[in-house]
Structure 1
Amino acid sequence: MKSQPTLLQKYNVPAPRYTSYPTVPLWADDMQESNWKELVRIAYQDFGEDEGVTLYIHLPYCESLCTYCGCNKRITKNHAVETPYIETIIKEWHAYLQLFGTCPKLAGIHLGGGTPTFFSPESLQQMLGYILGTSELMQHAALSFEGHPNNTTRAHLQTLFDLGFRRVSYGIQDFNLDVQKAIHRIQPFEKVKEATDIAREIGYESVNFDLIYGLPHQNIATIEDTFAKVAELRPDRIAYYSYAHLPSAFPAQKSFEQYLPKETEKRALYEKGKEILASMGYLEVGMDHFALDDDPLYQAKINKTLHRNFMGYTTSPSKILIGLGNSAISDVYYGYAQNVKGINEYKEDIQQGGLAINRGHAMTAEDIATRNLILDLICNQSAQWNYDFFEKISADNLAQLQVFQSEGLLQFDQGEIQIKDAGLPFVRNICTTFDLRMQAKQDQQFGFSKAI
């Protein structure tokens, strides 16, 4: 059996994150707006009453550019953009209400960006007041938002808490000043502590920190110092992401290219971070995600009720995720759709009375079976599969599964596959062996980030 460092080196290759299957670059792009509306209606009839609807709302504006960022964003200090964007979100939600035909139950809301706290508390109140006033919150609805520690004020936190939000996620990335300067995201420990303390004082039940390894100027010492500061604040959840260097798509990343840790150094940062997290009492939920043992996310993993969608791991079982805002992605089980990326195009499309669908994918029966298997592996470390599906796996990928098994990462037979704890860092690699869409296009190149 090969050592863990050797395996990390071997499997540190580009692979999807599987927030969807098929992953977005492999969509068939066969979705017309009329088809999408019909799929929404069908999915709502099938799942809306029992499971409710989850909303992702994309709020794209930021006052300054974080040079590492791969999100869809618009940089501006002009806050006059808030009102027309909020009004467009409301109009888009109204269009979906017409498709549902009844007052929908909401299983969750997540505000992402961009920087959601770029928007004033009053703007967020206007938008969310309309959405919540035209729907019904389910008993255990999960409402969360992403906040920037520098501009998440007490008013933001109180307004959102009063609307039902109980979880906040702060993008920390790293506490080292040299790293922060390189990625143009300077936020002192004191600001993060203040934002965390206020959230807990108000009554937020879960605080998450996003951390990234592989950033410029990072080394073992800086990672240890960052985690020492994290330990002082002890968030309920931690996401420890690999920095994805894609300067062809995000040119600002070129500004610090020469200061990035080498591949072997980056793997060492990953291993050190996981080691420290374990010593601090954080348990691995799944890819990149860790939580304390009493956190609902970890409990969902133990109870095998964990789910994964475009927002990452979630405790919500809802099969209907509606994305509002430019570039937002929706998933209604029978298909996916993504809104146009340009803010002006998005506003024009919605104001003209339609939706703003730019691309999508209608699921086949084979797609659904594959997605269910991959989701089970990512969320539960195990999956059942039948002989018909087993027969569709290519000879090369079947051979790769046998290699994974010989390396102690998993075990499988024709009825079940089980990922061992040693295989958790390689979940993305393992899932690619079941990716029938990717197998059909293995001669093509896709811009996925590396797995480790």
Structure 2
Amino acid sequence: MEEKYNALADKYNVPVPRYTSYPTMPYWDGTTFDCTSWEDSVRFSFEESNSGSGISLYIHLPFCESLCTYCGCNTRITKNHRVEEPYIDAVLKEWALYLQLFGDIPIIRELHLGGGTPTFFSPENLRLLISGILNHAWIHPQAEFSFEAHPGNTTANHLQTLFDLGFRRLSLGIQDFDPRVQFIINRHQSVEQVRTVTTQARSIGYTSINFDLIYGLPHQNLEGLINTMNIVAGLKPDRIAFYSYAHVPWIKPGQRRFTEADLPTPEEKSKLQEIGRSLLLSYGYHEIGMDHFALPADALFAAEMGGRLHRNFMGYTEQHTQLLVGLGVSSISDSWYAFAQNVKTLEEYLSLVNQGELPVFKGHVLSNDDLQIRRHILDIMCKQYTGWNAALIAGELSEALKRLEPLEEDGLVSLSEHGLRVTEIGKHFLRNICLCFDTRLWADKPATRLFSMAI
């Protein structure tokens, strides 16, 4: 099996989208999108779904005190904490603009704080922000509130404050415990800091703790990864995200601190991924979709077993809402029928919101074909299966089936008259399988590299 996987990993290690959306962002068609079309889409989606499933909120908090050079997120590096209150004020103004569009009280099913570093903000200011959101909303009885945190600056006061506001899920960015790796990626946290935050969170009452780990980082080697995994096993987080490092220095200049010569070779990276995955399975974790692992008692595992797993711009989630509203600089929103992204610079974001304008600057209105393909890609990513009516196969779907034939020959998928099922080894190659359905990419293949490598 290992020999077969290595051969397939070499063959399919090509630039591929991560498919947190379809169409992927480089293929959004701006010719049919403007702020009015986005507002209409939000109104329609809210009216259609709020009373049933509720809505999701993602709030981007972009500030970090130092730059982690591996990071692909939109960040603002500063040690000036006076930026907190003006930013919170702007986010609440943006929320007020969406409340006007809704025309009714929103029911919040999911709320996630991402970054940047949400724990850059003081506990008092985080309370101000979340209270300002919740004062104008109902909370769904099955609501899930989560936030990302840096182990180096997350205090017991942060944890207690957010717990009191309804947060029960915590995600800690670990990446790697190897000091050489931490130095070159400028991401420092000790084992003791991580243990302290994890222990405090559990004692307060958090029910799900996630660790983010990355393979393929500069100076990373097998010995260091195994040591990191053994430490993680001792701390036993409920969930683990084990991501491939995406080397995109043409997008993120901070990654130019190191070169490709500092990175593991493709063969070494593949080995890191396979050994890391094997260790996680040996510790009792179950593989969830792509890059995610969970203990049997965690809700993410139950969602996969129950066919309720969903994937959006925040990653995998155990709940599905039709409308996801992104607040804050560079945030992405999804009405199911359209996508929209906020402006990427802090200055422009503050200016537009303070003028009473939604700060979206680009987006995409999904066509009927987009919606059909989106369903197939979501089902493959979340259920490792997608189906179709054999009598209606035509056009782009028939082209996708032709593109899938070599993958079936390689044992990645099993095709039938009525659908596709991902094989056990095919679970390693979900992005490549989804690529076969990506009509827009195949119609306009990129002349330059847009996406990270599959492995």
TM-score interval (norm. to shorter): over 0.9
> Cα–Cα, structure 1 residues 437 and 283, in superposed 2: closer, same or farther, change >3 Å?
same
* 1:12 corresponds to: 13
How far is the alpha carbon of 1:388 from its aligned partner?
Answer: 7.0
Distance in 1 (alpha carbons) for counterparts of 2:446 and 2:200: 52
* 1:86 corresponds to: 88
How far is the alpha carbon of 1:413 from its aligned partner?
Answer: 2.4
Q: Deviations over 1:352-406 (max 9, x none)?
A: 0110011000011111111011101100011112347632247775343122112
* 2:23 corresponds to: 22
Retained in 2: the 8 A contact 1:390–1:414? no
* 2:375 corresponds to: 372
Retained in 2: the 8 A contact 1:193–1:233? yes
* 2:43 corresponds to: 41
Distance in 1 (alpha carbons) for counterparts of 2:443 and 2:391: 17
Is 1:211 the counterpart of 2:213? The answer is: yes
Equivalent of residue 358 in structure 1, options 358, 361, 365? 361
Is 1:318 the counterpart of 2:317? The answer is: no
Q: One-letter code of the match for 1:180?
A: Q
Equivalent of residue 233 in structure 1, options 232, 235, 241? 235
Distance in 2 (alpha carbons) for counterparts of 1:10 and 1:395: 24
Equivalent residue runs for 1:13-412 within 5 Å: 13-29=14-30, 30-257=32-259, 258-387=261-390, 390-393=393-396, 397-412=400-415
How far is the alpha carbon of 1:446 from its aligned partner?
Answer: 4.7
Q: One-letter code of the match for 2:401?
A: L
Mind listing any 5+ residue stretches in structure 1 that lack a counterpart? none
Distance in 1 (alpha carbons) for counterparts of 2:449 and 2:141: 41
Tell me the SS of whatever aligns to 2:258. Answer: helix
- Higher alpha-carbon deviation: 253-262 or 310-319: 253-262
How far is the alpha carbon of 1:443 from its aligned partner?
Answer: 5.4
Q: One-letter code of the match for 1:78?
A: N
How far is the alpha carbon of 1:195 from its aligned partner?
Answer: 0.7
Q: One-letter code of the match for 2:403?
A: Q
Distance in 1 (alpha carbons) for counterparts of 2:117 and 2:158: 12
> Cα–Cα, structure 1 residues 389 and 151, in superposed 2: closer, same or farther, change >3 Å?
farther
How far is the alpha carbon of 1:287 from its aligned partner?
Answer: 0.9
How far is the alpha carbon of 1:444 from its aligned partner?
Answer: 4.0
> Cα–Cα, structure 1 residues 414 and 393, in superposed 2: closer, same or farther, change >3 Å?
farther
TM-score after normalising by structure 1: 0.98
TM-score after normalising by structure 2: 0.97
Q: Deviations over 1:179-206 (max 9, x none)?
A: 1011111111000101111110100000
Distance in 2 (alpha carbons) for counterparts of 1:248 and 1:379: 30
Structure 1 residue runs of 4+, over 4 Å off? 394-397
Q: One-letter code of the match for 2:140?
A: M
Retained in 2: the 8 A contact 1:25–1:446? no
Distance in 1 (alpha carbons) for counterparts of 2:48 and 2:372: 18
Mind listing any 5+ residue stretches in structure 2 that lack a counterpart? none
Q: One-letter code of the match for 1:9?
A: D
Distance in 1 (alpha carbons) for counterparts of 2:268 and 2:139: 46
- Higher alpha-carbon deviation: 167-176 or 389-398: 389-398
Distance in 2 (alpha carbons) for counterparts of 1:227 and 1:144: 24
Q: One-letter code of the match for 1:97?
A: L
